[in-house]
Amino acid sequence: MKTPEYRQRLDEHTRPGTLWRPGAAPGSVVCVACPQRCRLEEGRRGACGLRFCHDGVLQVPWGYTSSVAVDPLEKKPFFHVCPGAGVLSFGTLGCTLRCPFCQNWAISQTVRDDRALVLPRPTAIEDLLAGAAASGSAWIAATYNEPLIAVEWVLAVFEAARRRGLRTAVVSNGYASPETLAALTPCLDAANIDLKCFTEAGYRQLGGHLAPVQDCIRGLHAAGVWVEVTTLVVPGFSDDPAELAAAADFLAGVSPDLPWHLSAYHPDYRLLDGPAPTSPEALQSACDLGRQHGLRFVYAGNLADRHGQGDTRCPGCSTALIRRRGFAVVERHLTAEGHCPHCGTRLAGIWY
């Protein structure tokens, strides 16, 4: 358990939130930010450990970051959003899930794991906007940990960013409530959602449920937000071909144009002695499955050499239109408006 001093540092960076309602018991609240819908009496914390009831009001994370950097949009990953553009990226602390293979556990599991000692850094919205301006970033993204745990703060940043002409993105586990989606989507341009696996049993191991993540992906797409999906292919957890095929069927049902990033797993966090890394062959098979099940854009990620599996090809004539090496765009043949110059097919995405 974290020391009271550490919790106090986190609690100093909170303010009354909006995504809650009064509970049945006097002075209690119900947080509605995620599907957990924690019912909290005075002084109690939600399952995430960051939102808590104080004086009959829900206090929520506000006014801090854990990390800020300028990344290429490809690193989020977004492959159908302004190729090669920079994005001012910021993270906070905490997560609604507890994945044993988390690659960002030092900030995502900060409330649960004594080894995660990153402290909140006070940050003004203006600091983030100035950082975007100084770096020439036209985009700002809430990423690194689960951003929707601090949805009110993210929303305030995005509203200010939109007023400055910036575009906005989240990289999220998709464990969001309908209330959170309704609040966020009016000022959200793009989202990359982690689909951890495609079974309820798998999600239960991580502390969540599958259906709300499916609802989130459907809801974002229906609201006109550009959606890409990432699945870390963990041997023995999320690499079953039937499960991957079912996931592809679901995603293609939302839209065959929805890009699916299949990422290679490397041992990390609580699985340092766990399964071996995903092999390039296994990842290739998973990508093939995605395409066979109707998805037009399936990408391999987290490999030193993707053998072209990170390139964007025209679904009309198969011409390679964007070639990538790592996170760098090395060739772009798509027209400025997103058309294939050979056959004229319009590729789905935000291209300018």
Per-residue CA distances from 220 to 176, 216, 226 (Å): 11, 6, 8
**Chain position whose Cβ is nearest to ligand SF4:** 46
For residue 69, the minimal CB distance to ligand SF4 (Å) is 25
Choice between 34 and 225, CB closer to ligand SF4: 34
Query: Contact between 51 and ligand SF4 (CB under 6 A)?
Result: yes
Distances (CA, A) of 62 to 7, 122, 164, 173, 261: 14, 9, 21, 20, 31
Total residues at the site for ligand SF4 (CB under 6 A)? 12
Residue closer to ligand SF4 by CB (options 155, 258) is: 155
**Subset of 146-165 contacting ligand SF4 (CB under 6 A):** 149
**Binding to ligand SF4 in span 1-20, by CB under 6 A:** none
Residue closer to ligand SF4 by CB (options 34, 300) is 34
Give every CB contact of residue 42 below 8 A, 6+ residues apart in sequence.
27, 28, 53, 54, 55, 56
Q: How far is the CB of 322 from ligand SF4 (least distance, A)?
A: 37
Measured from the CB atom, the residue of 60 and 340 that comes closer to ligand SF4 is 60
What part of residues 19-48 is at the interface with ligand SF4 (CB under 6 A)?
Answer: 31, 33-34, 36-38, 46-48
Smallest separation (angstroms) from ligand SF4 to the CB of 44:
9
Residue closer to ligand SF4 by CB (options 96, 137) is 96
Least distance (Å) from ligand SF4 to the CB of residue 33? 4
Question: How many angstroms separate the CA atoms of 97 and 231, rounded?
Answer: 15
The closest of 267, 270, 268, 1 to 113, measured between CA atoms, is: 1
140 touches 175 (CB < 8 A): no
Three-state SS for 332?
A: strand
Q: How far is the CB of 50 from ligand SF4 (least distance, A)?
A: 6
CB neighbours of 287 closer than 8 A, spacing ≥ 6?
262, 298, 299, 300, 309
Q: At what angle do helices 210-222 and 241-254 cross, to 10 degrees?
A: 30
Site for ligand SF4 in 79-138 (CB under 6 A): 96
Helix (H, G, I), strand (E, B) or coil at 237: coil
140 bridge partner residues: 88, 168
Using only C-alpha atoms, what is the Rg of the chain?
Answer: 20
Nearer to ligand SF4 (CB atom), residue 51 or residue 167? 51
Give the nearest distance from C-beta 29 to ligand SF4 in angstroms: 9
Min dist. Cβ of residue 178 to ligand SF4 (A): 13
Nearer to ligand SF4, 63 or 208 (CB): 208
Answer yes or no: are the C-beta atoms of 152 and 17 closer than 8 Å.
yes
**Applying CB under 6 A, which residues contact ligand SF4?**
31, 33-34, 36-38, 46-48, 51, 96, 149
